[in-house]
Structure 1
Amino acid sequence: MAKILVTRPMPGTVAEAVRALGEPEFRASTLPLSPAELRAALTGYDIVLPTLGDAFSAAVFADVPAPRARLLANFGVGFNHIDVAAAKAAGVAVTNTPGAVTDATADIGMMLILMTCRRAGEGERLVRAGDWQGWHPTQMLGLHVTGRTVGILGMGNIGQAIARRCHFGFGMEVLYHTRSPKDLDFPARALGSPEALAAEADILVSAVPGGAATRHLIGAGVLAAMKPTAHLVNISRGEVVDEAALIAALEAGKIAGAGLDVYEFEPEVPEALRRRENVTLLPHLGTATLEVRTAMGMMAVENIRAHLDGRPLPNPVG
């Protein structure tokens, strides 16, 4: 039977399904694999079910040129922590779990839009601290979201789901920039660059995939193009935003606020962001519901099952 490594604790239904596939080992730690564990995973198991932070880099594959493992069944739609080209060269297939994460991540995107624009985090901290002195006409005035202009950077499945919520739920004008043309089922206007998008948006939402092509896509140039009344929301990957440039823009008052669910050096969050009242910070909650995490796990299971059966993989990447 195939020896399978599951790198993080999984929902019970997923763990049960993995047990039916072979001889699994469930790692108890919630932390990413260490460098030694990464290499041991490739040499000691037939299949690995990794997730965010398990950095199967080119250097790892260089140290294990003939791995025992033949499949990395990634738990998650993003796979920028895996060097897919290096895996392929070593004869290791890579799969992911698209689709299952779309609505849950879009919901978090809307949550961050509302929280940062309406100062919800700041307001809750005020109440919890016992410092609220009661309602008055100029109390904590934020940005009215309904009818505003949202700019979606990256109009894939998640970007479209956020855009639909903004348009149909809040009557917002939708602008977007994406690498490939899109045939959309709602009104939206494409712009030619991230900077052009940033200049027109009241709320700029990053929904692009991670990886070298999008690293620091939102940097000093894009932030400088934003309106001083505009807010930035990131539910994509932390490295898409240059955090040093974001901090500088916030401290200089060049943008009004930010809502972040992901971070450049996750789980490290700069103190300069943590101390700012106009920044909403979430602990990577994008897909954090039992239903969604179970669905993600079952998609990974189906990828493993297809591999074991010698069938085409349902969700190959690369």
Structure 2
Amino acid sequence: MKKPDILQIGPYPAWDQEPLDEAFAVHRYFEVENKTAFLKQVGSSIRGIATRGELGASREMITACPNLEIVSVYGVGYDAVDLDACRERSIRVTNTPDVLTGDVADLGVAMMLCQSRGMVGAERWVRDGSWAEKGLYPLKRRVWGRRAGVLGLGRIGFEVAKRLRGFDMDIAYSDVVEKPYAEGMTFIADPVALAERSDFLFVTLAASAVTRHVVSKEVIAALGPEGMLINISRASNIDEDALVDALESGALGSAALDVFEGEPKLDPRFLTLENVLLQPHHASGTVETRKAMGRLVRDNLTAHFAGSALPTSVL
């Protein structure tokens, strides 16, 4: 029986690529230079798209595949997929939630610790001889016992909050509605008010048109010159221009960021700032999680073409 034709938008590790190639007829979009011509050539045969969260699938790409049935996203975020275009043609969309939740939460908390205690600079202080020449490293700020805000108490936000409890932190959160599972946490509906009472503000929202720039200039100002912003969600959730301005002026104390507008070509102003920790969008970047994500991408595709229920559908 003929294997279903799949359009692969970005590369996967070998442990995912090999079983994907075995199960499907894979057309590697990311390997060709003339992508428009490539889509004209293979588009009519494509029944599925295998993509990554940050790459998604545009309306143009979806339109070029008239027999498309499913878009399977390697990642929890699917905001880069044109959902309206998929709805219009009843195209299914899946993602890979849960399997990456713990690792993303881990990195968010690690970034908070690393930035608050100045660990990157301190490591450099040892390596460049400053410890021997200049003495002790400048004092930094503690984490335990302070106030944390979690903007978006979904899967990842809740796991972040669970970890913060281990530091005896005073935890508040903001979401659309109060969550029954948020025992011991304070619900604050307004993101500005949440930022105002937080020393550390974690952004763990799913990205959408509604949440675009929810971390506004006002939220950043409320967090203030002693506050830290940690983003392990999507860059679009933050007004990045306002963020850089506040970091430059000292209106915001510091930030720890795993995502950026236009990544990997981020705003060059970030590279000149000492009060921001920069990470290369790798919150889910462990061997264990990436293997589980790849397996779930294939499981969704396999289930669809077998006529079975999709393990993790979003549309």
Is the 1:152–1:159 contact (alpha carbons within 8 Å) kept by the matching residues of 2? yes
Sequence identity percentage: 32
Name the aligned partner's letter for residue 159 of structure 1.
G
Deviations 1:212-258 (A, max 9, x none): 11111112110111132111100000111111101111122112110
Q: 1:38 to 1:136 in 2, by over 3 A?
A: farther
Whole-Å separation in 1 of the counterparts to 2:33 and 2:242 = 27
Counterparts of 2:241 and 2:12, CA distance in 1: 34
Render the CA deviation track for 1:291-317: whole Å, top value 9, x for unaligned: 101100111111111111111212111
* Residue in 2 that maps onto 1:153: 151
Name the counterpart of 2:249.
252
Structure 2 residues without counterparts, runs of 5 or longer: none
Number of positions where the alignment pairs a residue of Structure 1 with one of Structure 2 = 313
For the residues of structure 2 that align with 1:201 and 1:144, how far apart are their CA atoms?
14
Tell me the CA shift for residue 69 of structure 1: 1.9
Equivalent residues of 1:50, 1:72 under 8 A apart: yes
* TM-score (ref. length: structure 2): 0.91
Displacement of 1:41 in angstroms is 6.6
Q: Structure 2: how far apart are the matches of 1:37 and 1:193?
A: 47
Q: For 2:48, give the aligned amino acid.
A: I
Per the alignment, residue 17 of structure 1 pairs with 19
SS at match of 1:198: helix
Paired residues for 1:82-101 under 5 Å = 82-101=81-100
- Tell whether the 8 Å contact from 1:101 to 1:296 is kept in structure 2 after alignment: yes
**Aligned twin of 2:80:** 81
TM-superposed deviation, 1:15:
2.7
CA 1:205/1:142 → structure 2, altered by over 3 Å: closer, same or farther? same
SS in 1 for 2:255: strand
**Is the counterpart of residue 56 in structure 1 residue 54 in structure 2?**
no
Alpha carbons 1:203, 1:233 under 8 Å: kept = yes
User: Could you tell me which amino acid in structure 2 is paired with residue 87 of structure 1?
Assistant: C
Q: Take 1:94 and 1:131, find their aligned partners in 2: how far apart are those partners? A: 53
Cα distance change, pair 39–174 in 1 and its aligned pair in 2 (3 A):
farther
Deviation at 1:28, TM superposition (A): 6.4
Change (3 A) 1:298 1:198: same
Shift of 1:126: 3.3
Query: What does 1:116-135 correspond to in 2, within 5 Å?
Result: 116-133=115-132
Q: Name the counterpart of 2:259.
A: 262
* 2:52 partner SS: coil
Aligned with 1:166 (options 164, 169, 177): 164
The answer as to whether partners of 2:173 and 2:187 remain within 8 angstroms in 1 is yes
Gaps of 5+ in 1: none
Instruction: Verify the 8 A CA contact 2:177 2:189 in the aligned structure 1.
Output: no
Aligned equivalents of 2:211, 2:39: Cα separation in 1: 25
1:304 to 284, 301, 305: 301
The one-letter amino acid of 2:161's match is A
Give the TM-score, by structure 1 length. 0.90
What is the deviation of 1:50?
0.6
Distance 1:175 1:266 in 2: 30
- Which protein has greater RCO, CA pairs closer than 8 Å, 6+ apart? 1
1:142 aligned to which of 140, 143, 152: 140
The answer to whether the Cα contact below 8 Å between 2:75 and 2:96 also exists between their aligned partners in 1 is yes
- Residues 38 and 56 in structure 1, CA contact (< 8 A), matched pair in contact too: no
Q: What secondary structure is seen at the aligned counterpart in 2 of 1:214?
A: coil
Larger mean Cα displacement after TM superposition, 212-221 or 145-154:
212-221
